[in-house]
Structure 1
Amino acid sequence: MATEIDDVTRRIAGGEALSAERTDLLFTALMAGQFAPDAVERFLRALAARGETIAEIVGAARVLRRHVTAVSCTDPGAIDTCGTGGDGISTFNVSTAAAFVAAGAGATVAKHGNRTHSRCSGSADVLEALGVPTDLSPTRLGECLREIGIAFLHAARLHPAMAVVAPVRRAIGTPTIFNYLGPLTNPAAVTRQIIGVPRAELLPLIAEALRRLGAVHAWVVHGDDGLCDLTTTTTSRYIELRDGRLTEHALAPEEAGLPRSKPSELLVDSPAASADMIRAVLSGQPGPARHHTLLNAGAALVVAGRAGTLKVGIKLAADSIDTGRAAAKLEALVQFR
C-alpha cells in the first residue's frame, strides 16, 4: 500500500488529477491507517502544492462522511456556519457569534468546529472560554439540538478516524485538503450552510463540491480583506447554491445597510478576548463587532429559510440580539450537560 500512495503522490506532483472514485479508495485506505505518516505527509503536501480539485474534495468528503459519528437532527432547515479556516487573521469568532444569533432568531444550528490551527482562537477554544461544554456524547448533542436549537459538534470527538492524520496535519502546519473537508462533513448531515474560505479561488471549488454532495442551500463566502467571513471592512464575494444552481455575487456592507469597520476593531489575541467580544455583542453592545456579526447571522438566516433577503435576515438578527434571545441560547448551552 505504501507503494500505491507514493505512486499517486508522484503523479499528483506531475500535475495529474484523481477521480472522485480513486480519491475515495485512497482516502478509505488512508483513514484506516494503511499508510506511513511520512508518506501521508508527502501526499497531502503534493495535493496542496498542485491545488485540490473538485473531484478530489468530493471523493475525500464522501469517505469522511462514512466514518463520522452521526448526531441526530430532525430539522431539515438546520444550518452550519463552520468555515474552512486558514485565513491566519485573528478576528473574533464571528461564525460562532452568528450561530447564537441565528439560533435566537429561530434557526436550528448544528455548529461544527474544532480547535485552531492558524489563528489564536478556534470555535472549540472560544466556546470553552464561554463555558460551553465541548465533550457531550452524540446522543446528548442530538437532544441539545432538539431542546435548545443549537449544539456544538466538536470535530475532534465526532471524527475519530481523523486521529490518524492529526499528527501529520500538525507537522505540515499549513492548510491541507482536510481544512476543506471539515465543513463538508457535518455530523448532523445538514444541507444548509455558510462556509467561509480564505482565498477567492476556493469559492467555486467548495460551492461545486457542495452541489455534488447534495446541499440544498449554501453561501460560500470570502472577504476581500482575506477573512473567511462576509466582512464589514471592505467588499465580500460569495457564491450561492440554491436549487442546484450556482450564482456569483459581490457585496459591500453599505448594500446591507451596515457601516464599514476597521480591521483592527475586530481583532483579538486569545480565546478569552474573543469570548468577551461575543458576550458584548450578545448583550447588545453597539459597534463594529455587532455589525460584523449581523452581516454573517443575516446570511445564515437566509440559508436557513428564515429570511427571504439579506436585509430581512439582518433585521431578524438584530431583533434576536436586542430581545435577549441570542444571549439566552448561549446561557442554555452553557447549562446543558
Structure 2
Amino acid sequence: MQHLLAKVAKGQKTSKDLTWEEAKQAMRLMIEGTATPAQIGAFLTAMRFKSESVTELAAFTATARQYVPPVPVRSGLGVVDVPVYAGKRETFHAILPAAIVAAAAGAVLLLHGVDGPPDRLGISSVLKLLGIPVDMTAKSVGAELEKKGFAYLDLALYHPPVSRFLEMRQELGVRNFFHPVARMLNPARATSQVIGLSHPPYFEKTIEALRMLSCPRALVIRGVEGDPELSIGNSTRLLELKDERITPFTFQPKDAGLSMATFREMAGFPVEQREREADLIKRLLANEIQGGQRDWVLLNAAMLLYAAGKGTSITGNLGAARSALESGLAKAKLAELVAVAGSSAGHAPKVGISA
C-alpha cells in the first residue's frame, strides 16, 4: 500500500494515476483489511485531491464485485439496476413511487442503498414505513424480483466493506470514490443501470467507467439531490450508454407535455417527519393526488420504463405509467410488495473487514 500511496499522493503536479492492476490491488488491500486504517484514510484523501481516473473507477468497481456473489436472477429477466444512496434534505423520494408504478407497468427494478446520514432522509426508512422489506438476503431479493418485479437490497447486508467505506465520509468530512463505486456495483449484474449523481466530476467519468465495465445500457443523470430522478422543476442533464455509444442530452418536463412544477410541489419532509413522506407516497400510488407531485412520479416512472427497454423514448412511456397509476395497478403493486412471508427476509453473509 505504501507504493500505491506514494504514486497518488506526490502532489498536484507529480501524482500519477494507478494502472488497472494497481487499482485492483489497492481495492483488495482495503477490502481484505490488509491496509491499515491510517493508510486507507490517506489513500482515500489522496485520491480525492488527485481525482480518480476512469480506469481507476472501473477497476475499483470490478474488484469490489468479486468479493460477493451476484443477486441470483434468471437470464433475460431484464432487471434495471437503480442505486439510491444520496438521501434527501429538500425533496421527497419521487424515485420510490416511480419505481413501483414502473414495476406495475412491467419493469423489473432492483433498488439498493444504505441508511442515509443523520442529516438526510434515507429511502430505506421510508420503505420500512410502507411495509416493504429492507433486510432481505441476496437470494430472497432474486426471488422477489422474479415474482414481483421490485425489490430493495441493503448494501450493509450485501457488501459490508463497501458500506463501511461509505460511512467514512462522516469521519473524513468529504466523499470518497466508494460513492460512485457503490452506485456502479450492480448487484444483480443487470443489463440496464440508472445512476443519479450530484457531484459534477463524476458525471462523465461514471458513464465512461460503465462502458469500460461492458455495461450494455445505462442512464447517468444529474439527478435531484443526487438520486436518479429527472426534475419536474428544471431541465435535467443525462448521458445515455447504449451499444457502447454515449449520447448526451437534456430533458425538460415540457418534452413530455408536462408543466414545470414549483419547488413546493417537489418538497420533502424533515427526517423526524418521515411518516408524512410515507403517507404521501401511499396517496400518490392510490391516485389520490393531482398536480406537480403526481407528474413528477409519472415522469420518472416513464424514465424507468425506458431504461427497461419499453418503448423508444422517455416521453413514449408516459402513457403506460399513467395507465398503471389510474387503473389501480400501482396501488395493487404496493399491496403486493408489502405482503411478504416472514421467511423471505434475512441477513446476507458478511465479508470480514478490520478497517
Query: Does the TM-score normalized on the shorter chain lie above 0.5?
Result: yes
1:25/1:225 CA distance change after superposition, 3 Å: closer
User: Relative to structure 2, which stretch is displaced further, 309-318 or 53-62?
Assistant: 309-318
1:322 to 307, 326, 330: 326
Q: Which residue of 1 aligns with 2:285?
A: 282
- Number of aligned residue pairs: 335
Q: Which residue of 2 aligns with 1:117?
A: 117
Matched, 1:301 2:305: yes
Alpha-carbon distance between aligned partners in 2 of 1:163 and 1:252, rounded to the nearest angstrom: 34
Alpha-carbon distance between aligned partners in 2 of 1:114 and 1:46, rounded to the nearest angstrom: 25
Contact 2:84 2:227 in 1 (8 A): no
Residue type at the aligned position of 1:276: D
Q: CA deviation at 1:102?
A: 1.1
Unaligned runs of 5+ in 2: 342-355
Q: CA deviation at 1:9?
A: 4.5
Alpha-carbon distance between aligned partners in 1 of 2:126 and 2:318, rounded to the nearest angstrom: 24
Structure 1 stretches of at least 4 aligned residues deviating more than 3 Å after TM superposition: 11-15, 223-228
Q: CA deviation at 1:118?
A: 7.6
Matched, 1:10 2:21: no
Q: CA deviation at 1:100?
A: 0.8
Q: CA deviation at 1:188?
A: 1.1
Q: Which residue of 2 aligns with 1:78?
A: 79
Alpha-carbon distance between aligned partners in 1 of 2:116 and 2:189, rounded to the nearest angstrom: 23
Matched, 1:311 2:315: yes
> Aligned ranges for residues 47-58 of structure 1 at < 5 Å?
47-58=47-58
Contact 1:321 1:327 in 2 (8 A): yes
Alpha-carbon distance between aligned partners in 2 of 1:67 and 1:223, rounded to the nearest angstrom: 29
- The SS at the match of 1:116 is coil
Contact 1:81 1:96 in 2 (8 A): no
Alpha-carbon distance between aligned partners in 1 of 2:253 and 2:20, rounded to the nearest angstrom: 38
Unaligned runs of 5+ in 1: none
Alpha-carbon distance between aligned partners in 1 of 2:73 and 2:161, rounded to the nearest angstrom: 22
Residue type at the aligned position of 2:278: A
- The SS at the match of 2:110 is strand
Contact 1:67 1:161 in 2 (8 A): no
> Aligned ranges for residues 147-226 of structure 1 at < 5 Å?
147-162=147-162, 165=165, 168-223=168-223
Q: Which residue of 2 aligns with 1:331?
A: 335
Q: Which residue of 1 aligns with 2:345?
A: none
Deviations 1:78-114 (A, max 9, x none): 102225527x643111222221111011011111222
Deviations 1:139-159 (A, max 9, x none): 221111111111111111111
Deviations 1:125-148 (A, max 9, x none): 221121111112222211111111
Alpha-carbon distance between aligned partners in 1 of 2:118 and 2:72, rounded to the nearest angstrom: 30
Alpha-carbon distance between aligned partners in 2 of 1:199 and 1:166, rounded to the nearest angstrom: 15
- The SS at the match of 2:214 is coil
Q: CA deviation at 1:190?
A: 0.8
1:151/1:158 CA distance change after superposition, 3 Å: same
TM-score (norm 1): 0.91
Contact 2:77 2:146 in 1 (8 A): no
TM-score (norm 2): 0.87
> Aligned ranges for residues 14-33 of structure 1 at < 5 Å?
14-33=14-33
1:296/1:15 CA distance change after superposition, 3 Å: farther
C-alpha root-mean-square deviation of aligned residues, in Å?
Answer: 2.3
Residue type at the aligned position of 1:274: E
Alpha-carbon distance between aligned partners in 2 of 1:169 and 1:48, rounded to the nearest angstrom: 12
Alpha-carbon distance between aligned partners in 1 of 2:102 and 2:224, rounded to the nearest angstrom: 24
Q: CA deviation at 1:68?
A: 2.6
Alignment identity in percent? Answer: 28
1:226/1:29 CA distance change after superposition, 3 Å: closer
Alpha-carbon distance between aligned partners in 1 of 2:144 and 2:255, rounded to the nearest angstrom: 36
Alpha-carbon distance between aligned partners in 1 of 2:293 and 2:7, rounded to the nearest angstrom: 45
